[in-house]
Structure 1
Amino acid sequence: MNQFNEKTRVQVPAMVHLLRLGYQYYGKISKTGQNKIYDPTTNILIDVFRQQYKKLNPNLNDKDVKNTLLEINDALRNNDLGRSFYEQYLVSSVKKLIDFENIDNNVFHFTAEFSCINDDEFIPDLTLFINGLPLVFIELKKPNNKNTLIDEQKRMLEKRMPNKKFRRFLNLSQLMIFSNNMEYLSEDGIRPTQGAFYATASNNKIFFNSFREDYINGEEFGFYKQFEYKDIDQQQENKILVDFKCIGLNETSEYKTNIDLLTPTNRIITSLCSKQRLLDILRYGIAFLNQVKEENKNTISIKEKHIIRYPQLFALYALRNKLEQNIKSGTIWHVQGSGKTALSYFLTKFITDYYSKQYIIPKFYFIVDRLDLLEQATREFEMRGLKVNKINSKNDFKEHFKKQSAFENNDGKLEITVVNIQKFDVDDADDNIFKYDLKSQRVFIIDEAHRSYKPEGSFLGKLLSADRNAVKIALTGTPLLKQDKETWKIFGEYIHTYYYDKSIEDGYTLKIFRDDIKTTYKEQLNKIYDDIKIQNKVVNTDDIVEHPNYVEKLVEYIINDFQMFRINNNDNTLGGMIVCKTANQARKIFECFDKVQINLNQITSKAKQTNFNVGLILHNYEDKEFRSDVINDFKYNCTVDLLIVYNMLLTGFDAPRLKKIYLARQMKDHSLLQAITRVNRPYNEYRHGFIVDFADIKDNFEKTNNKYIQELNAFDVDDPSIGIRTNFYEDLSVKKDDIIKEIKEIENKLFYYSIDNLEEFSHEISNENDKNKLLDLKKAITKLQEFSNISILIEDDELKDILSFIEPNKIRSIKNEIDNRIDFINIQDDFLNKPVHTVHVNNILANVIFSFKLVDQSLMDIISEREDVDIKTKCDLLVKRFSEYKKYSDTFEFKDLKTQVLEKIKELRIKPATDEVELKKTIEFFKKISDSLNELERIDNKLEKKYDGDIIFVKIHKLLQKPKKTTNLNIKVVDKLYVDEELTLFELLSHIKKELNTKTQNNKDFLANETVVQRATTTLIKKFIKKNNIENISEELIKYIAKTITKEYIEELNK
């Protein structure tokens, strides 16, 4: 094979995969086509655009087309991330650029290496067009490329996005895909190093989103397997190969591997660029944000462009399925921090379109139960361009409900009314205001649907009865589980779910660490309790935690700890929150904070002195405008360092810079999860949020976590060069017999690797994370390369013949792939092993009564055992897989695994796993079995290839690999032959297979007499052993081999 590179491994296969999706290859576009084939300022394909634009707008002429192109060009010049182009042209219904209703009215093209040039240049690997508009570009890397996706992310952010010369190209592009054709690494989180990701252009950050299809019928890749692909057009395929100088590539095994439907790159292209999906994403999944922020007393505007996250997209699809079944209520359970406000925005676009096809206009109500959440939601929706109607009183609400019109603005903007649930508290006499207009459909989106509303006579009851025909969508990250108050019972079954573990893997939320406080500190606090109680025996706990002695020591610890937190992370933008046990304790902390800070500064070196600014948020402290200013100063202006709260801001408060909470009160159930997940939003490249636990929440957390686990289960949904030789000819003096023996050992070591297909080999080692195994493999390959060079150097035909099992020109590529994998693991290890955060407070006040130290950090696993699906689903999937595993079900390995699973299921029926520890062990068990079965299937597939698909001899091979324990054979001898020397077994069976097939073809009655077959097989075995000088095989073992071969051979051929 002449080429094994990025072009042949990922770029060309991705282009061919697009043919399956119905795209047409436009051809390679050169600069000579400027102003003829394409517009060089935008890369729009002129003729394709002209034909399609006139087709979709038949009343327009060529002059209109030319004017529209000029208008588009002007719109793309704007420094608005393409918002004017998107809103005025791309999704406009006035002059259609795309027919979103009828896919077949559009044409889809692609090309590769199409330069974006405007006094500067960048060249995307692939460009995808709809009706001549270049709306998608794809950047591809080969697996284990040292230039990781992080580098690509950085290049986009630092070089391309700020470059005004690329503005029109990037404003026109709506979707960007980046892939190194590797599976996701769960530890990557917010810093992706491998996988296939998508993004859209933005000024300040390019967030790489992963994409995972929802399971279909219990299958992870169900969507891809059910997708209706088109046959590959061979004429277009050949043109691609010619244009990119890859003639003959389609005849290689690597090419066949790389055009597989299920490669990571091909999967994400199907998920995002299949025609209907791409149109849905363009129509519903783009959001432009305009955020206003104060900086140095100046108001600045920050523009961002967001693309829909995959769980949000699937929530839209799931909702559509419910509506089509005339189910108008349900719960969307998406983890905190996964973007539920953004989801609500996408819902307004999606539902508006859904009902407009029925000539019904939806009216949207976003319902909250707190003023701060109302303000936050209003701000978030307005940032995204929605017209927000504000309801100031119950009377306003009544009047608004009476209106028959769906829109109150003249700009054609989508509208949403943000309303506090208290406004639904109307008298029974007012029920006539809810009279329904058949041309409109009210849609209630209930935010934070885990609130403990009273079931009877409550605002919730008024909401549910206000319009019984309304669509009611409840959003929550922590549904209520208390009996008779369960969220799903109130608002309807779960429409879609998205859990903590997936959100963490996708980088939308962070893992949380709990910081424990050293015992000496707790002892000193207990001493304070005792001292105060001596003075006043009737004092209660609240009085103790509000006492100046207690409060000042608490503040002292927080100041020192928070200072070290910032110093260790070298980041003064990090924010904190103090969650108090009582409202009065919050006031006391606020009142004494500056005094304690001044006292500490007097005894602290200047370099470690602090000037923290704190803000107090209580419902009865100052007024609403003051609290709003404090919150904005914390969230956006970074002029408040720590917030002091009691009940407010513990749910729904979204401030990414908040990375540490000092929890001084006991909490439980959903309130606890809501509070601690305030710190789980991504911020810069931090991988964790932190909870400093003064209230000993560990037990409550575990109890709460276990409750959610049960609810989820109920809902079925080193130096790499060490030891490696580099001198190829050092062993020229070694005896040839020793070299041959060593080559055989290496061949045996490579038995289950696809050394005949570099791409499959690359995939196999990409799943190997044990660096020692890779180093051992590299050592073997290096040795093999050495022997290959020796055979050429000394022109030894015997050595060349023994080395014929591997192509010499592939040895170096295999070694390079192993090197790439080792380097890649080293890069990941460097990142993962980098210290996250360490706090050292060593006897901070040596002569003071109290001393404080952080003694322990523990990871808080929030429902993290749900790696893919729940335990029940894992059981069902495994049982299904075992039942479908029929070809080799008699083999020892299969029976061993199956027995383990059946025994575990029996054990779980007798004693189900209930607590978190047992659940984790169970999940780990099923994962281990699943991994073992995956490896067994991989080995079976390799054996089938080696035996040319002859399952009879694959089965015989597996049976002889490890005979049943009931036999009387010498196990050590058997192990040496059948386990340690798998290659010998393969060569023996291949020889016998050939000979027996010949005998069967020449003599049709050969199989009629089992004794004759066994005697002939025994003779063949003995001849093979003698010819190949195989030692230590007893007569008993020979008889066993012959008997096994005879039995299976006759049984299979007589079926």
Structure 2
Amino acid sequence: MTPISDWNEKELVENRLIQQIQEMGYQVSDGPSLDSERETTSDVVLRDRLRDAITRLNPWLSDDNVHKVMRSVLHIEATSLMEANQSFHTLLINYMSVQQDLGKGKKNQTVKLIDFDNPSNNEFLVVDQFSIKDAKGTIRPDLILFVNGIPLVVIECKSPLLNANEQIGQGVKQLTRYQIEQERLFHYNQFMVVTSNDRARAGTIGAQAKHYGLWKDPYPLTVAEIGNDPTAQDVLTAGMLSKENLLDLIQNFIVYEPEGGRTIKKLARYQQFRAVRKTVDRIVHAKTPEDRGGVVWHTQGSGKSLTMLYLAVKLRRLKQLENPTIVLVTDRKDLDNQLSATFRRCGFPNPQQAKSVPQLKELLSQGPGATITTLVQKFQEDKEAVSYPELSTSKNVFVMVDESHRSQYKGLAMNMRTALPNACYLGFTGTPIDKEDKSTTATFGTYIDKYTIDQAVDDGATVPIFYEARLTELHVQGETLDELFDRKFREYDQETREEIKKKYANEQAIIASPKRVERIALDMINHYETHIAPNGFKAQVVAISREAAVMYKEKLDELSDYESVVVISGGHNDEEKMKNFHLKPEDEKKYIERFKKPLTEDKLAFIIVCDKLLTGFDAPIEQVMYLDKPLKEHTLLQAIARTNRTYNKKDYGLIVDYYGVSSFLEQALDIFTKSDVQGALRPIDSELPRLETRHRAAMRYFDYVNKSNSDACIQVLEPEDVRHEFETAFKRFAESMDMVMPNHKANPYVDDLKFLGKIRQMAKSRFREEGLDISDCGEKVRQLIADHLQASSVEVIHEPIDILSSKFEQQINEAKTIEAKASQMEHAIRHEIKVKMDENPVYYASLKERLEELINARKNKQMDILEYYEALREKIDGMRNVTKQGEEHGFTREQYPFYQMLEEQLAGEEAEEVKDLTFIVTGLIQSKAVVEWTQKDDVKREMRREVKKKLRKRVDNNKLEYLTQQLMDLAAVHYKK
């Protein structure tokens, strides 16, 4: 058993991970033992191991070509980290070619860096504490996984003793810093892992913490096969880092997708990897061709299009499938365009989109190796044809049908199967299959993989969707419509009433009545203004008809300043008024792109639809759907999922129901298996218990304190660990308040939210915590707190007051007790040290040491509070005199830190000689410091060389390198241009 004294990051996380990886067949080494294999400490590739692998995997390669291959790997030409990373990934998985004569003349020959077909034919090495050092500094990642000498995975381990909510975030922050400081390491990186044993996530270069994904399934292993009660780290390691899975992920499950003017590297989520592997296993091991098909149900918003892409990549690479034909089928034009665009953007080779019925037949007849996207509607018979023709009898055709529940059981689907009788049919859907519907499974086969609504929310792949009914007196529910009509026309006889109803009183006419639309539009504007717009999100309105959609647009224009657009299909017989709202395809595309932009960039806030954009439409910025149309079954689930995409600071999606869907919701959801649709919609009231719990968790810090005594409340938050715990509790409480406000059910908690916001802000000022701000709260909460702070005459301080400022003394004097004064001074000194350490490391390192001695003396009761206060006052006076001391020696503010550095390192030298050397070194640096010199390697090298030359005669060799680097670091701070 590990003794408590060894409960640290190394023992609890890193060593456990190394042991598990070693058991999976990796070699283990530590960084220092590999230094002999590196030419310099800046090398990130283990060259000898790479060279050995290249010659072993390609024994026919000449020495010259081995050199060329090595050079291609070691010197990647690119203008950015992402470009270099993508370039190397392409080289790695598609192999490279060199010209060489193997006996039949000089031809291009393929060279492997890694043998993806036989994982055990590669060298897998895990290395801890591998230092990479150059002029920019030194980084030492906890673990790096090398395959054939190439650093493919970087792992950052964090202590499980850290605050649970900071473990992953701190690890990602460190990895982000590594990417800036040692970019070359990440030219080769395929993905990164952050783990604290209890929590583990994986992400790619450039990703923020929120984009690092869980890995909950170690497929093809089960969780039980890993061991008893495995941790998140154990599961991720087994699922991502086993030799076979690691190479599979690298080869088939990474894509680079252009998005918003930049490239994003995407790594498969665990459910995508699992679904593709299960599908391939079924195809390869099926007893008969008919058994190969099946259904993949992954809930809306969880990356279904990318799953189809990963599967296509995998099928294309399987040698036993011998270059298959892949057909992607949808039943809506926007979905077809979206799928084609996804494949094209991600670099999939030459997907061909069928533009017409004849072209589809032509594409399906062209033989193996094609990738074709089409609408199912293009499987139409010619008018003169008796039946649809057979176009290919090959078994090597794989048909992936998107949203497979909708249109696959009618005549068009029959035509598809007539055209491709021996194809393997794979159904993909974002909604579950009806319990009573046997046709889907009969058509495609049984479920291959499920990823439910609740699982997606739990993983953070989607946000939960809340449901709220508005204006109940305006609901038009199916079963009450007759009753409503009969009351209105009660003076007419039954026969006449039926005639009137048939002609004028259909449901659509009542729902689209101008007065009703106007009333709802006004409510919608008020709701959007108070609930949605403050946080910068956008809205979708679903009307019952095209005419109603236009009416909503007119009312929004009349009653508000919010910009809106109607996206509807045009009819040939439309009146002139309707034709004004017809959009050309290119204009519709522009409006959709505008809608997806942040509200600060584009004011288009509402998109109004009838049938369009209810499926296959991804706009993560959409938070609310105003629903005024009867939707049922799959259509209902697909429509509401427009609001469940994740987006920065978006904690939930919202359906506001003006039609009365709630009365049919249970009936609609009953046709699905209960567990499959659990959590599809949640009443807004369902957040109240969590709000109450989070409120209690935040308020408990002040249970035994007089809440009217601000000093006493702030003092509760003095210990750093308590502050961080309180910060987490406050943010969670604020998040729940943002979901519920301004609903009246949030009212009981508003005063406490204001109180906590005030104490939090004052703690920020007292303890110099820049991180304690309210910018990351929802705008409604932020505004409430900000207004309260101003109303309470609390100065909202965004930057702590500098010790050298005259305001600092004023702030100290305003503190009511000696304890509060000392606390402010202590934290002010801490802040000054943190901010100015780089400016003068000798002085501030010494000051830090003396401050810690004082704090420990106070803790151990070796001095009373008055003595402590006086000692802190002395330190502050000393800090104010530093610049003055430099001037007394004849130095400028910039030069004095150089003198102190040289004085410390050249102990025993005459003071005048150290002064002279200071003037020489700083003068040399000033003469070399051109504009942006810190970004120019050649200038830095020249400056470093000259500084070292001046030091060489006076400094011991064992100190020379260190001192030169310290002076260069100071130069970068004080003489940066």
Q: TM-score, normalized by length of structure 2?
A: 0.62
Residue of structure 1 in register with 2:53 after alignment: 52
Residue of structure 1 in register with 2:583 after alignment: 622
Which of 550, 561, 567 is 1:587 aligned to? Answer: 550
Paired letter, 2:459:
D
Cα shift at 1:273: 0.7
Paired letter, 2:224:
G
Residue of structure 2 in register with 1:436 after alignment: 393
Cα shift at 1:424: 1.4
Which of 119, 126, 146 is 2:143 aligned to? Answer: 126
Residue of structure 2 in register with 1:694 after alignment: 658
Are the aligned partners of 1:365 and 1:417 in contact in 2 as well (CA < 8 Å)?
yes
1:270 aligns with 2:268: no
Are the aligned partners of 2:629 and 2:659 in contact in 1 as well (CA < 8 Å)?
yes
Cα 1:224/1:471, change in 2 over 3 Å: same
The worse-fitting range, judged by mean Cα deviation, of 40-49 and 465-474 is 40-49
Residue of structure 2 in register with 1:84 after alignment: 87
Residue of structure 2 in register with 1:196 after alignment: 200
Residue of structure 2 in register with 1:881 after alignment: none
Residue of structure 1 in register with 2:772 after alignment: none
RMSD: 3.8
Residue of structure 1 in register with 2:317 after alignment: 353
Paired letter, 1:209:
G
Cα shift at 1:14: 1.5
CA distance in 1 between counterparts of 2:34 and 2:274 reads 41
Cα 1:370/1:133, change in 2 over 3 Å: same
Cα 1:567/1:496, change in 2 over 3 Å: closer
Cα shift at 1:122: 3.2
Cα shift at 1:489: 2.6
Cα 1:673/1:269, change in 2 over 3 Å: same
Are the aligned partners of 1:112 and 1:126 in contact in 2 as well (CA < 8 Å)?
yes
Paired letter, 1:67:
K
Which of 652, 657, 669 is 2:621 aligned to? Answer: 657
1:635 aligns with 2:592: no
Are the aligned partners of 2:157 and 2:171 in contact in 1 as well (CA < 8 Å)?
no
CA distance in 1 between counterparts of 2:69 and 2:89 reads 14
Paired letter, 1:399:
E
1:140 aligns with 2:157: yes
SS in 2 for 1:422: helix
CA distance in 2 between counterparts of 1:144 and 1:697 reads 48
CA distance in 2 between counterparts of 1:695 and 1:337 reads 25
Residue of structure 2 in register with 1:487 after alignment: 440
Size of the aligned set, in residue pairs, is: 661
SS in 2 for 1:26: strand
The worse-fitting range, judged by mean Cα deviation, of 528-537 and 336-345 is 528-537
Are the aligned partners of 1:318 and 1:495 in contact in 2 as well (CA < 8 Å)?
yes
Unaligned stretches of 5+ in structure 2?
Answer: 97-109, 492-499, 572-581, 679-693, 701-718, 748-977
Are the aligned partners of 1:204 and 1:304 in contact in 2 as well (CA < 8 Å)?
no
1:155 aligns with 2:119: no
SS in 1 for 2:611: coil
CA distance in 1 between counterparts of 2:484 and 2:746 reads 23
Cα shift at 1:830: 3.5
CA distance in 2 between counterparts of 1:116 and 1:309 reads 30
Residue of structure 2 in register with 1:289 after alignment: 257
SS in 1 for 2:673: helix
CA distance in 2 between counterparts of 1:40 and 1:367 reads 53
CA distance in 1 between counterparts of 2:133 and 2:661 reads 58
SS in 1 for 2:182: helix
Cα shift at 1:60: 1.9
Residue of structure 1 in register with 2:836 after alignment: none
SS in 2 for 1:510: coil
Cα shift at 1:625: 2.6
Residue of structure 2 in register with 1:222 after alignment: 224
Q: What does the per-residue CA deviation read over 1:593-652, in whole Å, with 9 as the maximum and x for residues that have no partner? A: 21222xxxxxxxxxxxx4433343335433323322222222357633211011111112
Cα 1:696/1:856, change in 2 over 3 Å: farther
CA distance in 2 between counterparts of 1:314 and 1:39 reads 41
Paired letter, 1:26:
S
CA distance in 1 between counterparts of 2:723 and 2:741 reads 37
CA distance in 2 between counterparts of 1:270 and 1:487 reads 34
Q: What does the per-residue CA deviation read over 1:320-342, in whole Å, with 9 as the maximum and x for residues that have no partner? A: 22111142211101111111100
Cα shift at 1:685: 3.2
Q: How does 1:410-559 map to 2 (within 5 A)?
A: 416-427=371-382, 434-437=391-394, 441-453=396-408, 455-456=409-410, 458-481=411-434, 483-484=436-437, 486-519=439-472, 538-559=504-525
Paired letter, 2:65:
D
Paired letter, 1:141:
K
SS in 2 for 1:29: helix
Q: How does 1:987-1006 map to 2 (within 5 A)?
A: none
1:612 aligns with 2:563: yes
Which of 382, 398, 421 is 2:344 aligned to? Answer: 382
Are the aligned partners of 2:255 and 2:346 in contact in 1 as well (CA < 8 Å)?
yes
Paired letter, 1:835:
E
Are the aligned partners of 2:176 and 2:206 in contact in 1 as well (CA < 8 Å)?
no
SS in 1 for 2:156: strand
SS in 2 for 1:692: strand
Cα 1:484/1:72, change in 2 over 3 Å: same
Paired letter, 1:511:
P
Cα 1:435/1:418, change in 2 over 3 Å: closer
Residue of structure 2 in register with 1:366 after alignment: 328
Q: How does 1:145-184 map to 2 (within 5 A)?
A: 145-146=162-163, 148-152=166-170, 155=173, 159-161=177-179, 163=180, 165-182=181-198
Cα shift at 1:702: 2.4
Are the aligned partners of 1:328 and 1:470 in contact in 2 as well (CA < 8 Å)?
no
Cα shift at 1:201: 1.6
Cα 1:153/1:515, change in 2 over 3 Å: farther
Q: How does 1:956-971 map to 2 (within 5 A)?
A: none
Q: How does 1:722-741 map to 2 (within 5 A)?
A: none
SS in 1 for 2:155: strand
Cα shift at 1:656: 0.9
CA distance in 1 between counterparts of 2:239 and 2:67 reads 34
SS in 2 for 1:489: helix
Which of 19, 27, 35 is 1:24 aligned to? Answer: 27
Are the aligned partners of 2:297 and 2:430 in contact in 1 as well (CA < 8 Å)?
yes
Residue of structure 1 in register with 2:115 after alignment: 99
SS in 1 for 2:355: coil
Are the aligned partners of 2:129 and 2:141 in contact in 1 as well (CA < 8 Å)?
yes
1:311 aligns with 2:266: no
Cα shift at 1:125: 0.9
CA distance in 1 between counterparts of 2:250 and 2:196 reads 24
Cα shift at 1:522: 6.3
SS in 2 for 1:652: coil
Cα shift at 1:833: 2.4
Identical aligned residues as a percent: 25
Q: What does the per-residue CA deviation read over 1:237-265, in whole Å, with 9 as the maximum and x for residues that have no partner? A: xxxxxxxxxxxxxxxxxxxxxxx893332
Q: How does 1:740-755 map to 2 (within 5 A)?
A: none
Cα shift at 1:550: 1.8
Paired letter, 1:830:
F
Unaligned stretches of 5+ in structure 1?
Answer: 183-194, 226-259, 294-300, 408-415, 598-609, 715-768, 776-818, 843-852, 858-1055
Which of 584, 602, 611 is 1:647 aligned to? Answer: 611
CA distance in 1 between counterparts of 2:118 and 2:78 reads 30
Cα 1:485/1:15, change in 2 over 3 Å: closer
Are the aligned partners of 2:29 and 2:128 in contact in 1 as well (CA < 8 Å)?
no
Paired letter, 1:616:
V
CA distance in 1 between counterparts of 2:744 and 2:365 reads 59
Are the aligned partners of 1:44 and 1:132 in contact in 2 as well (CA < 8 Å)?
yes
Are the aligned partners of 2:469 and 2:662 in contact in 1 as well (CA < 8 Å)?
no
Cα shift at 1:417: 1.6
Are the aligned partners of 1:446 and 1:475 in contact in 2 as well (CA < 8 Å)?
yes
SS in 2 for 1:487: helix
CA distance in 2 between counterparts of 1:529 and 1:391 reads 49
